Amino acid sequence: MGHKASSESKFRGPQFDESFRRQFEELLKWRRDVRSFRCDPIDAGLLEHLICLASLAPSVGYSQPWRFVLVESAECRESIRKNFEHCNREALNLYSGKKARLYASLKLAGLRDAPVQLAIFLTQNTHHGSELGRVTMPETLEYSAVLAVHSLWLAARTYGLGLGWVSILEPVEVKRGLNIPDDWKLIAYLCIGYPKQDNSSPELLYRGWEETLPITQMIVKR
Amino acid sequence: MGHKASSESKFRGPQFDESFRRQFEELLKWRRDVRSFRCDPIDAGLLEHLICLASLAPSVGYSQPWRFVLVESAECRESIRKNFEHCNREALNLYSGKKARLYASLKLAGLRDAPVQLAIFLTQNTHHGSELGRVTMPETLEYSAVLAVHSLWLAARTYGLGLGWVSILEPVEVKRGLNIPDDWKLIAYLCIGYPKQDNSSPELLYRGWEETLPITQMIVKR
């Protein structure tokens, strides 16, 4: 890419070199939304380490509003699987013809195979951060929890782990099934495990569901 | 950390080693919400490269709903600065005593110094992705744009660039000031430039605004 990092800051933290940047770009390119997992377990220490890395994410007013729910019991997992299957059937009804056949052929969750299922919730009524930065844009609290999901996703991939974000779920039912406090909001339900295969391209792209938008269409000047 | 990446996948993409993981963790630890920038310009090619990396972020149904608005004109920048100053004065009124003095002493935006100002919007009515994955959780469209902001943030830091997310803004006024289409929603207003200094710790932590939550308080099992 040839762009050089600046080297004149006054109090300098770690600087990253071209080799790191190249690998970091590979990480962004090969991060995938994984739906097919091997059944190998994940070391509990590694999982906790990944959660610690996720909690280094930025949060508005340093509110740290993310909460991690490890879903381990067969009963809870069954409630999620039923929830997904119901919502997925309903979603299929939105499509017809070729698109419906394509939708039906997509594997949209790895709930049967993934060794780890982790739900990320937002604690909505937190006073941590004393509301700084979220008076005019209260949604930034929610966004903070999303940033933690992304940190976890990338960190997992550096260990060869895949993550799949399942959003075809009725959030109220997820909370009921997992017995979650009233003021928590579901942000993401994640399947985590070693992927059956790696891929540099999103499945929805190579299966023909959607195309990549040209970057020029996304940039506007004012 | 001592955790080993698995090495038995069938179709394997790039694997990351311990040295990369160590540096990646440094990146997460030294990413900061920067408010003090040097005035050195950012190479236009580098900026476009960062936007390309941001657009590698995950998006629900491969919807790619992020739009990048480069705010360059003096008039637009002035509207943002006024917006921020108004909202910041209002926010200060929420605090009293020691907390108010601390709030008033914090520098919460780098709108005067940062060479680049970039607003990220969500295009709300996009049919890209054909609604896949967002029927029961429509907020995942918004979350996708948030993931792009985070990708941009980390990528910028690998080049020694700092990014500051300004959320003390009235979003309706931002849209009016920048002449933004009706169906776009403001996700984040970003200042980008070379930071005056690096820091491994959030300013709101070392200035005593908020403390770090223990990780044990954030993990629940079900």
pLDDT in tens, B179-204: 999 999 999 999 999 999 999 999 99
Residue of A nearest to B132 (CA): A91
The pLDDT score that the predictor gives to residue B189 is 98
A96 vs B contacts (CB less than 8 Å): none
ipTM associated with this complex: 0.94
Region A94-105: what's the mean pLDDT? 95
Rounded to an integer, what distance in angstroms lies between the CA atom of residue A180 and that of residue A70?
12
Nearest CA to B193 among B164, B152, B165, B155? Answer: B164
Average pLDDT over residues B6-12: 58
Give the pLDDT mean for A89-94: 95
> Per residue in B137-193, pLDDT tens?
999 999 999 999 999 999 999 999 999 999 999 999 999 999 999 999 999 999 999
- Which residues partner with B144 through β-bridges? none
pTM of the model: 0.94
Q: Given pLDDT bands bounded at 50, 70 and 90, which one contains residue A30?
A: very high
DSSP lists the bridge partners of residue A164 as A191
**What would the mean pLDDT of A121-142 be, rounded to a whole number?**
95
Q: Which residues contact B152 (CB under 8 A, 6 or more apart)?
A: B50, B51, B53, B54, B120, B163, B190
Tell me what the mean pLDDT of segment A131-143 comes to. 96
How confident is residue B4, by pLDDT bands cut at 50, 70 and 90?
very low
Q: What is the mean pLDDT of chain A?
A: 94
- Subunit contact A219:B71, Cβ cutoff 8 A: no
Q: Are B121 and B182 in contact (CB under 8 A)?
A: no
pLDDT band at A8 (very low <50, low <70, confident <90, very high): very low
Spell out which residues of chain B touch residue A72, defining contact as CB-CB under 8 Å: 221-222
Confidence check: pLDDT of A40 > 50: yes
Q: Is the pLDDT of residue B5 over 60?
A: no
Judged by CB atoms closer than 8 Å, whether chains meet at A168 and B15 is answered as: no
Q: How confident is the model at residue A3 (pLDDT cuts 50, 70, 90)?
A: low
Residue in A with minimal Cα distance to B52 = A215
pLDDT of residue B109: 85
Is pLDDT of A90 > 80? yes
Rounded mean pLDDT of A5-24?
81
Mutate to test the interface with B, among A204, A207, A212, A216 (most CBs of B within 10 A): A204
- pLDDT beyond 50 at A9: no
CB–CB contact A20 B158 (8 Å): yes
In the block, which residue shows the tokens 């920067």? B34
Task: Give chain B positions within 8 Å (CB) of A139.
Answer: 142
The full 3-state SS of A135-155, as one line of letters, equals CCCCHHHHHHHHHHHHHHHHH
Tell me: pLDDT of B3 over 70: no
Residue A102: closest CA among B59, B126, B132, B60: B132
B93 contacts in chain A (CB < 8 Å): none
Per-residue pLDDT band for A175 (boundaries 50, 70, 90) equals: very high
pLDDT of residue A143: 98
- DSSP secondary structure code for residue A11 in this structure: B
Residue B159, Cα to own-chain centre: how many angstroms? 16
Contact (CB<8Å) A23/B14? yes
pLDDT-above-70 percentage for chain B: 95
Bin B34: left if φ > 0, else alpha if -120 < ψ < 50, else beta: beta
Q: Which of B53, B61, B154 sits opposite A210 (nearest CB)?
A: B61
> pLDDT-based confidence at A1, cuts 50/70/90?
very low
E strand spans, chain B:
66-70, 116-123, 162-166, 184-193, 219-221
Tell me which chain A residue has its CA closest to the CA of residue B213. A64
Residue A109: what pLDDT? 85
The pLDDT, as a whole number, for residue B9 is 45
Of B30, B52, B169, nearest to A14 by CB-CB distance is B30
For A123, the closest chain B residue by CA position comes to: B218
For B98-121, the pLDDT digits (tens) are 999 999 999 888 999 999 999 999
pLDDT at residue B105, as a whole number: 93
- Nearest Cβ partner for A158 among B20, B57, B69: B20
DSSP one-letter code for B41? -
From the list A20, A154, A194, which residue is nearest B23 (CB)?
A20
Name which of A122, A127, A128, A150 to mutate to probe chain B: the one with the most chain B Cβ atoms within 10 A of its Cβ: A150
**What mean pLDDT is predicted for residues A100-127?**
94
A169 and B137 in contact by Cβ < 8 A?
yes
- Which residues of chain B are within 8 Å of residue A157 when distances are taken between CB atoms? 16
Percent of chain A with pLDDT over 70: 95
Q: Inter-chain contact B134–A213, Cβ cutoff 8 Å?
A: no
Structure confidence at residue B10 (pLDDT): 59
